[in-house]
Amino acid sequence: MEGSLLKVMFILLVLGIVNTLVHGQGTRVGFYSSTCSQAESIVKSTVTSHVNSDSSLAPGLLRMHFHDCFVQGCDASVLIAGPGTERTAFANLGLRGFEVIDDAKTKLEAVCPGVVSCADIVALAARDSVVLVIN
Q: How many residues does the chain have?
A: 135
Q: pLDDT tens digits, residue range 26-80?
A: 567 888 888 999 999 999 999 999 999 999 999 999 999 999 988 778 899 999 9
Q: How far is CA 80 from the centre of its chain?
A: 14
User: By CB neighbour count within 10 A (0-12 exposed, 13-18 middle, 19+ buried), where does 117 fall?
Assistant: middle
Which of the following is catalytic: 23, 50, 65, 67?
67
Q: How far is CA 77 from CA 61, 73, 123, in A?
A: 15, 10, 13
Q: Which residues contact 109 (CB under 8 A, 6 or more apart)?
A: none
> For the whole model, what pTM was predicted?
0.79
Percent of the chain, pLDDT > 70? Answer: 80
Longest CA pairwise span in the chain (Å) = 42
Rounded to whole angstroms, how far apart are CA atoms 69 and 119? 9
Protein fold of 2-134? Peroxidase; domain 1 (1.10.520)
Task: Answer whether 104's CB lies under 8 Å from 121's CB.
Answer: yes
Query: Among this protein's residues, is 23 annotated catalytic?
Result: no
